[in-house]
Amino acid sequence: MTTVDLDHQQLLIGGDWTGAKSGREYEQSFPFTGDQVGWAAAAGRDDARKAVDAAAAAFGEWSQSAPAMRRQILNKAADLLMKRQVEIAGIVTEETGGVFGWGMFNVELAAGMLREAAAQAYGLMGEVIPSDVPGKLAMGRPGARRRGRRDRALERARDPVHARGGDAARVREHGRAQGFGDLPPHPRRHRAGADRCGPACPA
Amino acid sequence: MRACLPGVINLVTNSPEDAADVVDELIAHPATRRINFTGSTRVGRIIAEKGGAHLKRVLLELGGKAPIVVLGDADLDRAAAAASFGAFFHQGQICMSTERIVVDRTVADALAEKLAERARALPVGDPREQSTAIGPLINRAAVERVSGLVEDAVGKGAKALSGGEADGPCFPPTVLTGITPEMRIYSEESFGPLVTILPVDGPDEAVEVANDTEYGLSAAVFSENVGAALELAQRIESGICHINDTTVHDEPQMPFGGVKASGFGRFGGRAALEEFTELRWITVQSLPRHYPI
C-alpha cells in the first residue's frame, strides 16, 4: 500500500493510492485568500470503471466475512479518523473555508457514522410470514412481525405450565413438518427463517 | 495503519468539468447496485434520471429551504439562538440550514431584532482565526449568487436588519424582513448566510407558509406548548422536524432524509441498513404440491 500525499490527493482503487490514468490533477484553493492549497487527481471514465471493478472484486470476501470482523474494521476506521481529527479539521478549513469547529464536527460525525455501521453488523434479520400454501415456509421482510395464532400456540406448547395434553408434541411435529427442525425452548421466540442478504446483494 | 480490506472502499476525485463522464461511468457499471448522492437538487435530478435509465435505486440528499416556525408563546431567546446557529453555521452552506423564520406576527419584530443583534455580533473573517465564527463562502460564484439574491430582495422592498453586502470572500450574516413571494429569496435556496423573516397570523398560516416551498428536508417548531408544536410538526412537509431546537442537527443513528425536491431515501441506523440491502422472499416447500398443469 502506498502512502498518502496530502498535497497531491490521489485516487484509492483496490487498496492502492494512485494518480488518474490521464495523469491530470485539479487545483484546490483556500476560499479566504484564493491561495492554492493542494492538488487532487482528476479521474476520468477509465478510473471510475476501475474503481467499481475493484469494489465488485472485493465484495465477495467482504460480504462473506464474519459480522464481528466487519464490526471491528469499521470501529478501527472510526478510531483512526478520530486520532487525526484536529489535523483533518485543519485541512477542512483550508479546502472549504469552514471554521475549525466545522471540521471537528464533521470528522466526529463521520466517525459516528462508521461506528453506527459497525453497530449494524448484526442488524440484518428476517421474519417468517405465514403462507396459504400447505407445507410452505416463507421467509421475508426484515423487521418486527405480529404475533399470530401459531406463535401463541407454539409458546403455549413450549410453556411447561400451560402446555396441556398432546399440545406440545403436536405442535413440535407440525413445526418439524414445516421445516423448522426442533423448536427452540420457551421463552425464546423462534427465528427459524432469517433471510440475510448483505449490502448490494447480487440478485 | 489501515482499517479495511483492499477494494471495499474506493475513492475517486474528479475535476468539475469531468463530473458528467465520471458519474455516467459509476452509474452505468453493471456491478453498481445503489447510488447515493448528496448535493444540489439540480444535480440530483440528473443523477436520478441516469439511475432511472439503468433501473438502479438512487438515494438523494439534496437541497433545502428549512423553516423555523415560531408560535406566539415561544421562548424568543431560545428561538433566536437556534435560528442564528441554524442560519449562519458554516455560512449557511448546509443542506439543513435555516432559511426561513415563519413567526407569529405578534412576536415577529421582537424575534427579528433578537436575531439581528446576534447576527451583527458574529465575527466575520479568516477561518484560521480562533475568534472567527463566519468564514468565507466556498467560492467567488457563491458570493455573487448570494449578493444577487439580497440585491433582488432589497430592490423589491426587503430590508436587511444585519449584513446585506459582501465583504471580499465573506458575506456577513444577513437577516431580511419585508419579504414577498415575488422575491427570488422567497423560494430559492440561498445556501448562504441569509435568513428571511416571514410573519404569519396563527398556526394554520404558519403551516401554509412553511410548506410553500419545493423543498422538504429539515424544519423546526418553537412553542412552550409541546402538544401544539407536535401537532404542527406533523403537518409540515419535511423529512425531519425538531421541536424547540434548530434545523441543523444530525446523528448517525437517526433516519436522516427529505421529501419533495430535497430527495428521497433515509440515511442512518436501521433505515440505512434497509436502503442498502435487498429484501428477498425465500420459501421452503416441505410437502409435495399439486400443480394444475
Put simply, the answer to whether A26 touches B285 (Cβ < 8 Å) is: no
pTM for the whole structure: 0.85
Here the ipTM equals: 0.93
Among the partner-chain residues B2, B132, B289, the one whose CB lies closest to the CB of A133 is B289
C-alpha cell at A58: 472485493
| B282 in A contact zone (CB under 8 Å) | yes
Listed by number, the residues of chain B in 120-179 with a beta carbon closer than 8 Å to a beta carbon of chain A are 125-128, 130, 132-139, 169-170
> Which amino acid makes up residue B267?
F
Whether A86 and A106 have beta carbons less than 8 Å apart is answered as no
**In chain B, whose CA is at the least distance from the CA of A176?**
B286
Whether B227 and B201 have beta carbons less than 8 Å apart is answered as no
Whether B39 and B263 have beta carbons less than 8 Å apart is answered as no
Cα–Cα distance, B42 to B52 (Å, whole number): 16
Read out DSSP for B190-227? --SSEEEEEEESHHHHHHHHHT-SS--S--EEE-S-HH
**In chain B, whose CA is at the least distance from the CA of A130?**
B283
Among the partner-chain residues B10, B90, B289, the one whose CB lies closest to the CB of A55 is B10
Q: Which residues of A touch B28 (CB under 8 A)?
A: none
Put simply, the answer to whether B4 touches A77 (Cβ < 8 Å) is: yes
Mean pLDDT across A54-61: 96
C-alpha cell at B207: 403551516
Cα–Cα distance, B64 to B236 (Å, whole number): 14
Q: Which residues of A touch B29 (CB under 8 A)?
A: 48-49, 52-53
Give the range among A19-33, A35-49, A146-160, B137-151 with minimum mean pLDDT. Answer: A146-160
The mean of the pLDDT values for chain A is 78
Between residues B102 and A138, the one the model is more confident about: B102
C-alpha cell at B211: 410548506
Cα–Cα distance, A6 to B53 (Å, whole number): 37
Among the partner-chain residues B24, B250, B283, the one whose CB lies closest to the CB of A137 is B283
Is B147's pLDDT higher than 70? yes
Mean pLDDT across A63-74: 95
Helix (H, G, I), strand (E, B) or coil at B29: coil
DSSP state of A189: P
Cα–Cα distance, B92 to B190 (Å, whole number): 8
Mean pLDDT across B225-241: 98
DSSP state of B140: H
What helix, strand, coil percent values describe chain B, rounded to 5?
35, 20, 45
**In chain B, whose CA is at the least distance from the CA of A140?**
B281
Cα–Cα distance, B83 to B95 (Å, whole number): 15
The pLDDT tens digits for A92-149 are 999 999 999 999 999 999 999 999 999 999 988 888 899 999 988 877 654 434 445 5
Please, which residues have CB within 8 angstroms of residue B44's CB and are 6 or more apart in sequence? B37, B60, B62, B63, B263
Whether B106 and B138 have beta carbons less than 8 Å apart is answered as no
Cα–Cα distance, B221 to B230 (Å, whole number): 8
Angle, CA A122 vertex, CA A121 and CA A126 arms, to 5°: 125
C-alpha cell at B222: 418553537
* Cβ atoms < 10 Å from Cβ of A203: 7
Between residues A184 and B218, the one the model is more confident about: B218
The whole-number pLDDT of residue A59 equals: 95
Put simply, the answer to whether B284 touches A137 (Cβ < 8 Å) is: yes
Cis peptide before A187 (omega within 30 of 0): yes
Q: What region, left, alpha or beta, does residue A49 occupy, with left being phi > 0 and alpha being psi -120 to 50 degrees?
A: alpha
